[in-house]
Amino acid sequence: MTFKEKYQDKVVQIDKLLMRYCPAKEGHQSDIMDAMEYNLLAGGKRIRPMLMQEVYHLFGGTEDMIEPFMAAIEMIHTYSLVHDDLPAMDNDDYRRGRKTTHIVYGEDMAILTGDALLNYAFETASTAFDLAPEKSFVIGKALQVLSKKAGIYGMIGGQVVDVKSTGKRIDAETLDFIYKLKTAALIEASMMIGAILAGASDEEVKVVEKIAEKVGLSFQIQDDILDVESTAEVLGKPIHSDEKNDKMTYVTWKGLKEATKVVEQMSKEAVSMLESLHPSDDFLKQLLLYLIHREK
């Protein structure tokens, strides 16, 4: 199998896993389950659960307690998109080629759908205590990382500064801060949780965090590059949205050429750190490079 075939195969497996972890549509509140599924099963690259699973295997993990965490990290990523798209935030009508939640279900339900997905992420991750009760402390450590990297010292923190900075001239340090928190933090959580649940040492988890930071930053800069270079058809969302929203990005700041160079440089560093940690995982190495050089 080629890398692309393996990757597609893993996406299919993760989609199936997410389907299993979607709450059944039942009860008076079935509309919210419907809206959660609408977003959770909308496709997507599934890179966060995939990275988590690959790192888990890299460190010798074999149990199914990784699965609720794989579902949880995708739920958190998904809720952040639902709330990002709201009229009071980016006010986007389309996402992944489909109408956004507030367009389909109304603004009140879109707020509740985001809340529900965030809450359900922790509800789902917490089922791991039943799958591996003897590993409860390690599962607790994974929950600490998940909640920290998703919150005000991670993704939400980045989002706050991003919102506050729109339309303003910001310095390089602030831009870097936004990228690290808004995008890299959740990728750090994905890879760190894979390592933690597999029993990696604190030192190993720290190296994984560093690798993930580089992956996350490159991933975001590549996103900015695609927003300028790609087409709406390929991306499934409007291009030039940064320009439209008057957002300063690495590309508007340094230019396309320099941005491309930085992505190259950081991805090389990430792969070389991964090799020094563990010499032989070809798929993960290829995955990192694919994410960074992707076309959508």
Residues that bind a copy of itself (CB under 8 A): 23, 27-29, 31-33, 36, 79, 83, 86-89, 106-109, 111-112, 114-116, 118-120, 122-123, 126-129, 133, 136-137, 139-141, 143-144, 147-148, 150-152, 156-161, 163-164, 174, 177, 181
For a copy of itself, the closer CB: 28 or 257: 28
For a copy of itself, the closer CB: 32 or 217: 32
Instruction: Concatenate the DSSP letters of all residues of 74-140 into one string.
Output: HHHHHHHHHHHTSTTTT--SEETTEE-HHHHH-HHHHHHHHHHHHHHHHHHHTTHHHH-GGGHHHHH
Q: Which residues contact 139 (CB under 8 A, 6 or more apart)?
A: 65, 128, 129, 132, 197
Any idea what the Cα angle at residue 218 is, between residues 212 and 220, rounded to 5°?
Answer: 100
For a copy of itself, the closer CB: 27 or 238: 27
- Supply the minimum distance, in Å, between the C-beta of residue 13 and a copy of itself: 25
- Supply the minimum distance, in Å, between the C-beta of residue 171 and a copy of itself: 11
- Supply the minimum distance, in Å, between the C-beta of residue 87 and a copy of itself: 8
- Supply the minimum distance, in Å, between the C-beta of residue 105 and a copy of itself: 10
- Supply the minimum distance, in Å, between the C-beta of residue 245 and a copy of itself: 12
- The helix (run of H) or strand (run of E) holding residue 202 is helix 202-229
For a copy of itself, the closer CB: 58 or 110: 110
- Supply the minimum distance, in Å, between the C-beta of residue 61 and a copy of itself: 18
Per-state percent for the chain, helix, strand, coil, to nearest 5: 75, 0, 25
What angle, rounded to 10 degrees, do the helices at 66-84 and 47-58 form? 150
| Contact assessment for residue 66 and residue 139, using Cβ atoms and an 8 Å cutoff | no
For a copy of itself, the closer CB: 178 or 211: 178
What angle, rounded to 10 degrees, do the helices at 47-58 and 202-229 form? 150
For a copy of itself, the closer CB: 11 or 86: 86
Q: Which residues contact 170 (CB under 8 A, 6 or more apart)?
A: 178, 248
Hey, CA dihedral for 165, 39, 231, 155, is it positive or negative? Answer: positive
For a copy of itself, the closer CB: 12 or 153: 153
- Supply the minimum distance, in Å, between the C-beta of residue 193 and a copy of itself: 13
Q: Which residues contact 176 (CB under 8 A, 6 or more apart)?
A: none
- Supply the minimum distance, in Å, between the C-beta of residue 223 and a copy of itself: 20
For a copy of itself, the closer CB: 118 or 198: 118
| Contact assessment for residue 124 and residue 145, using Cβ atoms and an 8 Å cutoff | no
